[in-house]
A and B are shown apart, each in its own frame.
Chain A
């Protein structure tokens, strides 16, 4: 019985992130538009786009191989699994032990791996540009992320997200320098990973600046839909990751009852909204940087992460 309930919760959680993802993207767009004094598309516009794309036929380049057609599903699967393993409104999910934070990062890594391959598959110069820039960014962002994980794991004594979240909620945490550094680094990494300004601009097709868009340039129809969906899933994942690690309030334990869970969901949605808002504000307040300044940005993140890891030993909270 309990198992079935757990299954149910896990399923709800998966569906929740899946459904919320386009909404979040749309919300960010909306807020940005408003900040720019524009009307902007409605919040549910991404849903419409996705459905439209799904319905369209796929126009496949002649030089595309089977890999090109498999990749969207792979990316979607990997991202979705990763996203569904992050505690959103409740810790101790049924399958949370099946992969810890490192594994989640690795899952995202494999998604990126195949996306970059897809970018090179058709054999156009744009795809190449996108892939090479993407892997360059990743090669710095992933270690930075790893350092953040180290910091948190060393503090929480675990890489298991549920355990970490519970620990972060407990008073044992206190206020630490390394945590602050880690948060800063995490935000920087999140921005880079999701291809937001100032690293990349999701809404441009300007060859000199684009990274992600250049990779998916040849995609169309349902493939493109899946890729867009996984992109917004990724955004949700990162926001909820930051949420569950640094704003663990309202995160319900495994044995919580229905009303608690409902409250938890509400809190979670609130956090998402807050994150999206902050993101929008941040994005519309700064300009995109040149591609070759990105390494400095991410190098800074990496250094921050390493610093956080090392400072962890000196910054005890009690």
Chain B
């Protein structure tokens, strides 16, 4: 039974992908998509209760158990959202049924890839999975076949594959470092063995490896200056994909990065990865915060906000220490929930208004109250205001940082404040004032969005002890 749950998490999406690729018909495929996502989610939840022993290829531990459930959950809610979203796309004719079939298949492949990357115990497998996720998302970003979509996909593809290549080199280097200690063959790529023996690895080699992994996976995380693909990919792809990208894929890449950071943390002689991550994080945060001001496209706006938050998270992990690490893990979870919910809202807004230009939206709380207030709630949450989860994590990050290195904290606070001001500047135009643009009613299910918000709100007030225990263990490991 134990292994089955884990296998199910991987196999259900795989089979579903094959099935969906073969099946025509919009409604039925959408339903199957939802069902598959739900099944995956359930089997992932069962991992909470029975945690299988780590094998040579697969592993479930404190770090990834939360993220598996998170990923499958958001994957499920997104599939629900996508059902109503894609229907509208078909009516407006932006998508043809053939492409739709392709879309659903790819969606499940993406789920499979992300789950695999999360549960992989083998750094090679992890790399393969992340590359697979990249390729699938490339295809989905380009699915609209407009100039902009193609260009975004192309940009994403080039930058992404370069990043992938760098990451592969880093992986090879890790193997090279491990081989003299662990010995040749498979063991030298199994994470659980690596983490046990990493103390004896050659530090210099590890350093080089980490640089490449940081840049390689960092590209996927969207850290400035490696971020270029992210805004366009978010803006031009279908919104469910934007939600998955921001909410999950960035997390997965960051998760991979964390695994290797733990390796370095174990090795005393290796250079501390902290400063590198802190620097990249701060650069991303401040840069993205300023970029928010001149955005005219709503999806691109929130894409940049994702960069900003990835920056905060990376910064926190770089700072290290139990508080900052805990905060960062919490922030990852909260951000993926909030940001995907925001994209649900944004998707409907864009469909209602028939555009993504912020200037053409306005008075949303007048025309579509539920949608408008949902968006406001999302922005409030993402801006780190209580009583929503991100406030907690930002509180921990800032307060714990300032006591240790005030200078960094000041930059951090500055970035947060600048981003905050920018977000609400845009929100005012969208949600308030005289109604602008079309005032059609949205026929959409708000359930996924508000479920996410409910969770985020809950986490702002009360965090379940089990989650806390896992996060604290991981925080210790992260050093």
Asked whether any CB of A lies within 8 Å of a CB of B in the complex, the reply is no
Report B's interface with A, CB cutoff 8 A: none
The interface of chain A, by Cβ under 8 A from chain B, is none
